[in-house]
Amino acid sequence: MTKSISNAEIKALAEKAVNLISADKDKEVVDTLRPLLDTKCPFLKLDLLGKETGGAGSSQPQKFFRSFDEIIDYNAMGGFVVVGQALICFLPDNFEKVMEKSRKYIIKGDVWYACDIIGERCLGQALIDYFDETLPWIAKFLKDENRWVKRSAGVAIHFFSKRVLDEQEKTRKLLKLIEPYMEEKQVDVIKGIGWGLKTIGRHHPDILVEFLYKQIKLKKNISGLMMKKALTYIDEDKKLKIENITRTGIRAYQSKAILNTHKHCDGGWFWDKYSAFPYIGCEWGCEYCYLRDGKYNPHKSSLDPKVLNFADPFSQYIKVKKNAPELLRKALENMPRDLIYLDNYQPVDFRHQYTRKMLKVCLDLSFPVFINEKSRMLLRDLDVLKKINKKTYLNVCWSIITTCDDKTRKIFEPNAPPVSARFNAMKKLAENKILTGTVFMPILPFIYDDEKNIEEVIKKTKECGGRYVLDGGLTLHGYSKTHFYKVLEKYDPDLSAKYNRIYGNPELLADHTAQVHEKVLEYCQKYKLTPHIPRPVNFYPKKLQVNKKTAEKFYLKAREMQMSGKGGHREWAYRKAAWALDDLEESIEKIYRDKGISGVMEIKGIGKSLANKIENFLIKNEKEGHLHP
């Protein structure tokens, strides 16, 4: 059976299906339809099949519902179209049953197209034909815990709005239903509700603008994606006005600088020498983020009184450096090539896409890039990322504290994308031969530091193509500590005393960190993952690459001492030696060849013990053929 099947053949097929349903031969119904469902048949043909089949079933609905269950269980996209259209025929006499079946089939499909097909045909048509009866069901679907069921309500509103163009009062009633969900953070739900708003805006722009102004006045925390969809068909003047006063307090300003140049690279951790971020603040609003501390937090009321309008300025008041890409290009043109840290894939970037533009700057100027992410939005720019990876170096790590998308995770990462989406994105990058892995930090004490969670995170990283796991503890200073304790008190009041005990005693904290780190090392070894990020050196001048690799040994030694609670003087000796090696403008190989170990000891910060280690490293590399002539 092909896409060229005629309407007459469709009607004959429907008649055969009806006869089988009437004879209680549900399995044979699926067998009869399978050739059509297994092809890319036009939806118009499938809709006709559904209409013809459903239209003959009003006298025996239960038999038809059983057959519909079988068709849905076959799990073909075309099956959802056929059943969705057929269900419409049962609305007059079996309204509640159709609504219940719609929800069941959406959950069963567990994919966007099943949601949208049923949402348009069943819920959308029900709104058109039985508006008052359907409104309570739309409200019920919006409250549902299942993301696809919630999304389908927005899809239904879209369908109604594109078919019914002269019902302003009904449109206002639908917006009233949507209003409590304008702060939705789940991206699939946002897309559904945003689709409904977008279509309302196309046919009733004044009503939508009035509605959006009300939400802004109420200081609703509307995601950038939802606002972008809602404003699709709004004229530019009104769109600009709304964007300038939108709920997040997104404020564009002309920045004087964007590039941060660090005195030393982030040795043993991310290895970046530079960093640049186009946005100030973070809409993900993770409760443990150390950037909330006054030392880093730019949202001070003394500098900008507008922050007083927000319950959490850090996540609700985003400042946009509108000249960020141009500033980055100008800054990097005069800098030696080294690793730059970029990461700002948050909802505001849907609108501005500055992260992509900054990635293109790095690509043009051949700068290697490190990214630490929580959002699969990054995959939008996979084309640019692949080019950077091929030209210089790219490492994308994923900030992950657990494998579970449960209530606990959402307490500490209230707005962040699902962990499952992060792992899926990791897998996609690995498939494209891009270095990726997990930044397992902060590992929250007494919440996510148990052995089961540690193993699951490391195991999942391995399964998704990650090549390393970098662990770290929770930093609590200043306001970041005050804020986190408020959240901790709501989560489990008994934990505050435990946190006070270990964070009030440096030795206890060091012991706790060491025990957790030991478990991370154990499971990294079990799953054959590197417990750190290997240092990239291929983009440095060739004569300096051995300096960087030698320094890497010392940086990693210092980090291990820090994580194992054995820091102090020896840790800093290794770190300072690494700095000295990084700062050398002459190859350590040449120094050793010309002057021997005494020449190595002339380098500031390197005594006899560390010089011996450098000598051993150079000799080993020479034997293995790694030294340059």
What pLDDT, on the 0 to 100 scale, is given for residue 561? Answer: 94
Q: What is the DSSP letter of 530?
A: B
Instruction: Give the 3-state secondary structure of 369-415.
Output: EEEEECCHHHHHHHHHHHHHHHHCCEEEEEECCCCCCCHHHHHHCCC
Distance of alpha carbon 421 from alpha carbon 234, whole angstroms: 31
Distance of alpha carbon 181 from alpha carbon 194, whole angstroms: 11
What pLDDT, on the 0 to 100 scale, is given for residue 474? Answer: 96
**Residue 529 clears pLDDT 90, i.e. is over it:** yes
* DSSP class per residue in 201-219: HHH-HHHHHHHHHHHHHTT
Distance of alpha carbon 384 from alpha carbon 523, whole angstroms: 34
**β-pairing, 279-280 with 319-321?**
antiparallel
Q: Residue 511, exposed/middle/buried by CB under 10 A (0-12, 13-18, 19+)? A: middle
**Residue 207 clears pLDDT 50, i.e. is over it:** yes
Q: Higher pLDDT residue, 268 or 185?
A: 268
Q: Are 59 and 24 in contact (CB under 8 A)?
A: no
Give the residues across from 275 on adjacent strands.
260, 341
The confidence band for 351, taking pLDDT boundaries of 50, 70 and 90, is confident
- Going by C-alpha positions, the residue among 249, 212, 244 that lies closest to residue 231 is 212
Residues 518/520/521/523 CA torsion (nearest 10 deg)? 120
Angle at 311 between CA 478 and CA 279, to 5 degrees: 75
**Residue 247 clears pLDDT 50, i.e. is over it:** no
Give the residues across from 396 on adjacent strands.
371, 436
Angle at 508 between CA 505 and CA 513, to 5 degrees: 125
What pLDDT, on the 0 to 100 scale, is given for residue 57? Answer: 87
Q: What is the average pLDDT across 121-142?
A: 96
User: Mean pLDDT score of the chain, rounded to an integer?
Assistant: 92
7-211 architecture in CATH?
Alpha Horseshoe (1.25)
**pLDDT per residue over 379-431, tens digit each?**
999 999 999 999 999 999 999 999 998 899 999 998 888 999 999 999 999 99
**pLDDT per residue over 20-56, tens digit each?**
999 999 889 999 999 899 988 999 999 999 999 999 9
What pLDDT, on the 0 to 100 scale, is given for residue 624? Answer: 65
Q: Residue 467, exposed/middle/buried by CB under 10 A (0-12, 13-18, 19+)? A: middle
The confidence band for 292, taking pLDDT boundaries of 50, 70 and 90, is confident
**Residue 440 clears pLDDT 60, i.e. is over it:** yes
CATH fold for the domain made of 256-288+320-526: TIM Barrel (3.20.20)
What would the CATH number be for the domain defined by 542-623?
A: 1.10.150.110
Percentage of the residues of the chain whose pLDDT score is greater than 70: 95
What pLDDT, on the 0 to 100 scale, is given for residue 477? Answer: 87
Q: What is the average pLDDT across 3-30?
A: 91
What pLDDT, on the 0 to 100 scale, is given for residue 626? Answer: 54
**Residue 337 clears pLDDT 90, i.e. is over it:** yes
The confidence band for 287, taking pLDDT boundaries of 50, 70 and 90, is very high
Q: What is the average pLDDT across 94-115?
A: 96
- Going by C-alpha positions, the residue among 461, 333, 467 that lies closest to residue 394 is 467
Q: Where are the beta strands (DSSP E) in 133-267?
A: 251-253, 259-261
Distance of alpha carbon 456 from alpha carbon 503, whole angstroms: 26
Single-letter amino acid, residue 500: N
* Same fold: 7-211 with 542-623: no
**pLDDT per residue over 456-473, tens digit each?**
999 999 999 999 999 999
What pLDDT, on the 0 to 100 scale, is given for residue 349? Answer: 87
CA distance to 377, 459, 525, per residue, from 424 (Å): 12, 14, 23
What pLDDT, on the 0 to 100 scale, is given for residue 202? Answer: 94
**β-pairing, 469-471 with 279-280?**
unpaired
The confidence band for 623, taking pLDDT boundaries of 50, 70 and 90, is low
What pLDDT, on the 0 to 100 scale, is given for residue 568? Answer: 84
- Going by C-alpha positions, the residue among 377, 468, 378, 466 that lies closest to residue 427 is 466
**Residue 340 clears pLDDT 90, i.e. is over it:** yes
**Residue 163 clears pLDDT 60, i.e. is over it:** yes
Domain parsing of the chain, residue ranges: 7-211, 256-288+320-526, 542-623
**pTM confidence score:** 0.65
**pLDDT per residue over 558-616, tens digit each?**
999 999 888 788 999 999 999 999 999 999 999 999 999 999 999 988 999 999 999 99
What pLDDT, on the 0 to 100 scale, is given for residue 1? Answer: 47
